[in-house]
Amino acid sequence: MVIPMGGMGAGMAGPFPPELDHRFRQLKRCVLAMLLSALGVIVFMPMCFNANVFSVILSSLNIVLNAIFGIWMLQQDPLIGRMYHCLTTTICQPCGEQCQGGLQCLMPFMFGNGITVFLNIIQPGDLVNVFGNIGKLFQPMEWKSGLWGFWFVFYATCVLTIYISQISGIVFGYLAYKQVRDAGVTVSGGSWSQGGGGAPARQGPTGGDDASQSAPEGRPAQQNFQAFGGQGQRLGSG
């Protein structure tokens, strides 16, 4: 399966610059919350409603796809980078060849989450399951099993966390995009990516280096010193 990831963020490319470190951390929390919550829904929904596991996985594909956008976007993170390497060497190898990730996946991540939230609001299947059965928590006699209430709490928490993480990802992604667009943030990945670690030489008032202008003006420049420049006299010649 080839996911078209390279077109929507064509105006932005490269890794997240240091100026967006706080947005990077916020987006990382959103992506991890989406992944863990989607896994929780797949585990706890069949326990609560006797749903087919395969159908639950299919209904969670949109969340998984948005999380993949997030993994590509945050691939420079050590933890998410392992997920990225695993995907690019297995089932998502064509995606790694098509999109280099980083800021290029910011817009697909935002639009994907926005469309998913909009569709889930139009057809609120998970929300109906949560709010339609929340009253049973206070009626243990209607529980299908002795642990139904506990499974339902975990399921409801995962569903609400998915919505919160998606909406938060849209907001933080837009703030990062706005900062890049308005403040002219470069996307070179920081000065450490340019090689030499030494500081540049300071320029003097006339454009030269300070080292060449360190001598006082009243003192003449020192002539080149040549060792043994005089004429010697051989022993015994006189």
Q: Is the overall model pTM greater than 0.75, yes or no?
A: no
Residues of the chain with pLDDT under 70: 1-12, 96-97, 183-238
Contact 60, 37 (CB under 8 A): no
Q: What is the pLDDT of residue 183?
A: 64
Q: What whole-number distance in Å separates Cα of residue 97 and Cα of residue 81?
A: 16
Q: What is the pLDDT of residue 233?
A: 47
Q: What is the pLDDT of residue 24?
A: 93
Q: What is the pLDDT of residue 31?
A: 96
